[in-house]
Amino acid sequence: MTARLNVNIDHVATVRQARRAPEPSVIAAAMICELAGADGITVHLRGDRRHIQDSDVRLLRESVITYLNLEMAATEEMLKVALDSRPNAVTLVAENPNEITTEGGLDVKANLSIVRAGVNRLREGGILSSLFIDPDMPQIEAAHEVNAQQVELCTSAYAHATLGATGIHGEGSLRAKHELRRLREAATLASQYGLHVAAGHGLTYRNVGHVAEISEITEFNIGHNIVARAVFVGLDQAVREMLSAIRTA
Ligand code: PXP
Protein backbone atom coordinates (compact mmCIF):
# COMPACT_ATOMS: atom_id res chain seq x y z
CA MET A 1 0.00 0.00 0.00
CA THR A 2 1.41 3.40 -0.89
CA ALA A 3 1.60 6.11 1.70
CA ARG A 4 -0.86 8.99 1.74
CA LEU A 5 0.29 12.54 1.03
CA ASN A 6 -0.88 15.50 3.10
CA VAL A 7 0.26 18.72 1.47
CA ASN A 8 1.46 21.33 3.94
CA ILE A 9 0.27 24.69 2.59
CA ASP A 10 1.92 26.95 5.21
CA HIS A 11 4.05 28.67 2.63
CA VAL A 12 1.09 29.70 0.53
CA ALA A 13 0.16 31.68 3.65
CA THR A 14 3.77 32.90 3.93
CA VAL A 15 3.42 34.62 0.54
CA ARG A 16 0.09 36.11 1.56
CA GLN A 17 1.40 37.35 4.92
CA ALA A 18 4.41 38.97 3.23
CA ARG A 19 1.93 41.67 2.17
CA ARG A 20 -0.89 41.04 4.65
CA ALA A 21 -2.94 40.72 1.44
CA PRO A 22 -5.94 38.49 0.72
CA GLU A 23 -4.00 36.54 -1.94
CA PRO A 24 -2.93 33.81 -2.45
CA SER A 25 -5.85 32.08 -0.77
CA VAL A 26 -4.96 29.06 1.33
CA ILE A 27 -8.49 27.77 0.84
CA ALA A 28 -8.06 27.81 -2.95
CA ALA A 29 -4.67 26.13 -2.47
CA ALA A 30 -6.22 23.37 -0.37
CA MET A 31 -8.92 22.78 -3.00
CA ILE A 32 -6.35 22.54 -5.79
CA CYS A 33 -4.28 20.05 -3.74
CA GLU A 34 -7.35 17.91 -3.12
CA LEU A 35 -8.36 18.01 -6.81
CA ALA A 36 -4.81 16.99 -7.77
CA GLY A 37 -5.17 13.88 -5.60
CA ALA A 38 -3.66 14.86 -2.24
CA ASP A 39 -4.99 12.74 0.60
CA GLY A 40 -5.05 15.59 3.06
CA ILE A 41 -4.00 19.11 3.99
CA THR A 42 -1.58 20.01 6.76
CA VAL A 43 -1.11 23.43 8.35
CA HIS A 44 1.05 24.59 11.23
CA LEU A 45 -0.48 27.26 13.46
CA ARG A 46 2.56 28.86 15.05
CA GLY A 47 2.59 30.87 18.23
CA ASP A 48 3.77 33.94 16.28
CA ARG A 49 1.14 33.41 13.50
CA ARG A 50 3.79 34.07 10.90
CA HIS A 51 1.90 32.21 8.16
CA ILE A 52 -1.30 30.32 8.99
CA GLN A 53 -3.88 32.37 10.95
CA ASP A 54 -6.63 31.16 13.30
CA SER A 55 -9.26 32.11 10.70
CA ASP A 56 -7.47 29.87 8.13
CA VAL A 57 -7.85 26.88 10.44
CA ARG A 58 -11.57 27.57 10.86
CA LEU A 59 -12.18 28.06 7.14
CA LEU A 60 -10.08 25.03 6.21
CA ARG A 61 -12.09 22.90 8.61
CA GLU A 62 -15.22 23.96 6.75
CA SER A 63 -13.77 23.38 3.29
CA VAL A 64 -11.32 20.48 3.40
CA ILE A 65 -13.14 17.26 2.60
CA THR A 66 -10.20 14.85 2.62
CA TYR A 67 -8.28 15.11 5.91
CA LEU A 68 -7.06 18.05 7.93
CA ASN A 69 -3.93 17.74 10.06
CA LEU A 70 -3.11 20.65 12.37
CA GLU A 71 0.48 20.95 13.58
CA MET A 72 0.89 22.91 16.79
CA ALA A 73 2.73 23.21 20.07
CA ALA A 74 1.18 21.49 23.10
CA THR A 75 0.11 24.76 24.73
CA GLU A 76 -3.23 25.62 26.32
CA GLU A 77 -3.84 28.26 23.64
CA MET A 78 -3.33 25.77 20.81
CA LEU A 79 -5.29 22.97 22.44
CA LYS A 80 -8.24 25.34 22.62
CA VAL A 81 -7.94 26.14 18.89
CA ALA A 82 -7.77 22.42 18.10
CA LEU A 83 -10.74 21.47 20.24
CA ASP A 84 -12.82 24.33 18.80
CA SER A 85 -11.95 23.62 15.15
CA ARG A 86 -11.73 19.81 15.33
CA PRO A 87 -9.26 18.85 12.63
CA ASN A 88 -9.01 15.12 11.87
CA ALA A 89 -5.56 14.97 13.42
CA VAL A 90 -3.28 17.13 15.52
CA THR A 91 0.47 16.74 15.34
CA LEU A 92 2.19 18.06 18.44
CA VAL A 93 5.51 19.69 17.58
CA ALA A 94 8.34 21.43 19.40
CA GLU A 95 8.37 25.15 18.71
CA ASN A 96 11.10 27.68 19.44
CA PRO A 97 10.25 31.38 18.98
CA ASN A 98 13.20 32.30 16.72
CA GLU A 99 13.48 29.18 14.57
CA ILE A 100 13.19 29.49 10.78
CA THR A 101 11.39 26.17 10.67
CA THR A 102 10.74 23.33 13.11
CA GLU A 103 14.22 22.32 14.19
CA GLY A 104 13.68 18.78 15.35
CA GLY A 105 11.31 16.43 17.06
CA LEU A 106 9.40 16.97 20.26
CA ASP A 107 11.24 15.62 23.30
CA VAL A 108 8.37 13.45 24.52
CA LYS A 109 10.59 11.59 26.98
CA ALA A 110 11.53 14.82 28.79
CA ASN A 111 7.97 16.20 28.76
CA LEU A 112 5.92 13.11 29.50
CA SER A 113 3.23 14.73 31.64
CA ILE A 114 2.60 17.76 29.38
CA VAL A 115 2.42 15.58 26.28
CA ARG A 116 0.26 12.96 27.98
CA ALA A 117 -2.19 15.66 29.08
CA GLY A 118 -2.33 17.07 25.53
CA VAL A 119 -2.84 13.64 23.98
CA ASN A 120 -5.63 12.82 26.43
CA ARG A 121 -7.50 16.04 25.67
CA LEU A 122 -7.19 15.53 21.93
CA ARG A 123 -8.32 11.92 22.16
CA GLU A 124 -11.30 12.90 24.33
CA GLY A 125 -12.17 15.46 21.66
CA GLY A 126 -12.15 12.71 19.00
CA ILE A 127 -8.99 14.04 17.31
CA LEU A 128 -6.21 11.67 16.26
CA SER A 129 -3.06 12.57 18.17
CA SER A 130 0.28 12.40 16.43
CA LEU A 131 3.69 13.31 17.88
CA PHE A 132 6.46 14.73 15.69
CA ILE A 133 9.62 13.05 17.01
CA ASP A 134 13.15 12.28 15.95
CA PRO A 135 13.60 8.67 14.82
CA ASP A 136 15.00 7.56 18.19
CA MET A 137 13.91 4.48 20.12
CA PRO A 138 13.39 6.23 23.52
CA GLN A 139 11.10 8.79 21.89
CA ILE A 140 9.01 6.05 20.31
CA GLU A 141 8.73 4.26 23.63
CA ALA A 142 7.68 7.56 25.22
CA ALA A 143 5.08 8.16 22.48
CA HIS A 144 3.63 4.75 23.24
CA GLU A 145 3.73 5.49 26.97
CA VAL A 146 1.69 8.71 26.61
CA ASN A 147 -0.92 6.87 24.58
CA ALA A 148 -0.44 8.69 21.25
CA GLN A 149 -2.02 7.07 18.21
CA GLN A 150 0.61 8.12 15.67
CA VAL A 151 4.18 9.29 15.42
CA GLU A 152 5.51 11.47 12.64
CA LEU A 153 9.19 10.72 12.18
CA CYS A 154 11.29 13.81 11.55
CA THR A 155 13.12 13.29 8.26
CA SER A 156 15.20 16.47 8.39
CA ALA A 157 18.49 14.74 9.33
CA TYR A 158 18.03 12.36 6.39
CA ALA A 159 17.02 15.20 4.08
CA HIS A 160 20.02 17.24 5.16
CA ALA A 161 22.35 14.30 4.55
CA THR A 162 21.10 14.04 0.96
CA LEU A 163 22.04 17.66 0.19
CA GLY A 164 25.33 18.09 -1.57
CA ALA A 165 26.39 14.50 -0.90
CA THR A 166 27.74 12.13 -3.52
CA GLY A 167 25.41 10.07 -5.71
CA ILE A 168 23.02 11.43 -8.29
CA HIS A 169 20.67 12.89 -5.70
CA GLY A 170 22.96 12.66 -2.70
CA GLU A 171 20.93 9.81 -1.29
CA GLY A 172 23.86 7.41 -1.72
CA SER A 173 26.11 9.02 0.89
CA LEU A 174 27.07 7.11 4.02
CA ARG A 175 25.32 9.61 6.26
CA ALA A 176 22.17 9.48 4.22
CA LYS A 177 22.23 5.67 4.41
CA HIS A 178 22.73 5.87 8.16
CA GLU A 179 19.81 8.30 8.55
CA LEU A 180 17.63 6.12 6.35
CA ARG A 181 18.46 3.11 8.54
CA ARG A 182 17.45 5.14 11.64
CA LEU A 183 14.11 5.96 10.00
CA ARG A 184 13.56 2.33 9.00
CA GLU A 185 14.31 1.00 12.49
CA ALA A 186 12.18 3.67 14.16
CA ALA A 187 9.27 2.94 11.80
CA THR A 188 9.51 -0.77 12.57
CA LEU A 189 9.49 -0.24 16.35
CA ALA A 190 6.64 2.29 16.20
CA SER A 191 4.55 -0.06 14.15
CA GLN A 192 5.29 -2.95 16.56
CA TYR A 193 3.86 -0.73 19.30
CA GLY A 194 0.71 -0.34 17.19
CA LEU A 195 1.39 3.31 16.36
CA HIS A 196 0.55 4.70 12.92
CA VAL A 197 3.72 6.01 11.30
CA ALA A 198 3.97 9.25 9.35
CA ALA A 199 7.09 11.06 8.17
CA GLY A 200 8.07 14.50 7.03
CA HIS A 201 10.25 17.59 7.07
CA GLY A 202 12.72 18.60 4.39
CA LEU A 203 11.55 15.96 1.92
CA THR A 204 11.90 16.72 -1.78
CA TYR A 205 11.01 15.15 -5.12
CA ARG A 206 14.57 13.82 -5.19
CA ASN A 207 14.91 12.30 -1.74
CA VAL A 208 11.40 11.07 -0.90
CA GLY A 209 11.69 7.80 -2.85
CA HIS A 210 13.89 5.89 -0.40
CA VAL A 211 11.77 6.94 2.57
CA ALA A 212 8.63 5.90 0.70
CA GLU A 213 10.13 2.40 0.39
CA ILE A 214 9.72 1.98 4.17
CA SER A 215 6.45 0.06 4.21
CA GLU A 216 5.47 1.02 7.79
CA ILE A 217 5.26 4.70 6.79
CA THR A 218 1.66 5.31 5.77
CA GLU A 219 1.59 9.13 5.59
CA PHE A 220 3.81 11.94 4.40
CA ASN A 221 3.52 15.61 5.31
CA ILE A 222 5.38 17.63 2.71
CA GLY A 223 5.20 21.35 2.16
CA HIS A 224 8.09 23.60 1.25
CA ASN A 225 9.37 21.66 -1.75
CA ILE A 226 5.89 21.32 -3.26
CA VAL A 227 5.09 25.02 -2.86
CA ALA A 228 8.57 25.92 -4.19
CA ARG A 229 7.92 23.85 -7.32
CA ALA A 230 4.40 25.21 -7.63
CA VAL A 231 5.85 28.68 -8.20
CA PHE A 232 7.17 27.41 -11.55
CA VAL A 233 4.81 24.64 -12.65
CA GLY A 234 1.59 25.40 -10.76
CA LEU A 235 0.24 23.74 -7.62
CA ASP A 236 -1.80 21.07 -9.40
CA GLN A 237 1.21 19.72 -11.28
CA ALA A 238 3.51 20.08 -8.27
CA VAL A 239 1.18 17.91 -6.15
CA ARG A 240 0.80 15.32 -8.92
CA GLU A 241 4.58 15.08 -9.30
CA MET A 242 5.06 14.50 -5.56
CA LEU A 243 2.34 11.84 -5.55
CA SER A 244 4.12 10.13 -8.40
CA ALA A 245 7.52 10.36 -6.64
CA ILE A 246 5.97 8.60 -3.62
CA ARG A 247 4.04 6.01 -5.60
CA THR A 248 6.86 4.94 -7.87
CA ALA A 249 9.10 4.17 -4.87
N1 PXP B 1 5.95 17.83 9.43
C2 PXP B 1 6.09 18.73 10.44
C3 PXP B 1 5.77 18.27 11.83
C4 PXP B 1 6.47 20.06 10.19
O5 PXP B 1 6.58 20.93 11.22
C6 PXP B 1 6.70 20.45 8.85
C7 PXP B 1 7.04 21.89 8.56
O8 PXP B 1 6.02 22.71 8.99
C9 PXP B 1 6.54 19.51 7.84
C10 PXP B 1 6.19 18.19 8.16
C11 PXP B 1 6.74 19.83 6.41
O12 PXP B 1 8.09 20.13 6.20
P13 PXP B 1 8.56 20.72 4.80
O14 PXP B 1 7.88 22.02 4.61
O15 PXP B 1 10.03 20.80 4.93
O16 PXP B 1 8.11 19.71 3.74
Q: Which domain holds residue 154?
A: 4-248
d(Cα 45, Cα 82) in Å, to the nearest integer? 10
Whether 160 sits among the annotated catalytic residues: the reply is no
Query: From the CA of 42, how far away is ligand 1's center (Å)?
Result: 9
Overall number of domains in the chain: 1
Q: What CATH number is given to the structural domain containing 193?
A: 3.20.20.70
Dump pLDDT digits (tens) for 195-241.
999 999 999 999 999 999 999 999 999 999 999 999 999 999 999 99
226 CA closest ligand 1 atom index: 16
Cα–Cα–Cα angle for 223, 224, 228, rounded to 5 degrees: 120
Name the pTM for this structure.
0.95
Strand partners, 44: 71
Dump pLDDT digits (tens) for 82-115.
999 999 999 999 987 677 777 789 999 999 999 9
Whether 201 sits among the annotated catalytic residues: the reply is yes
- Asked whether the beta carbons of 183 and 199 are under 8 A apart, the reply is yes
Query: From the CA of 166, how far away is ligand 1's center (Å)?
Result: 25
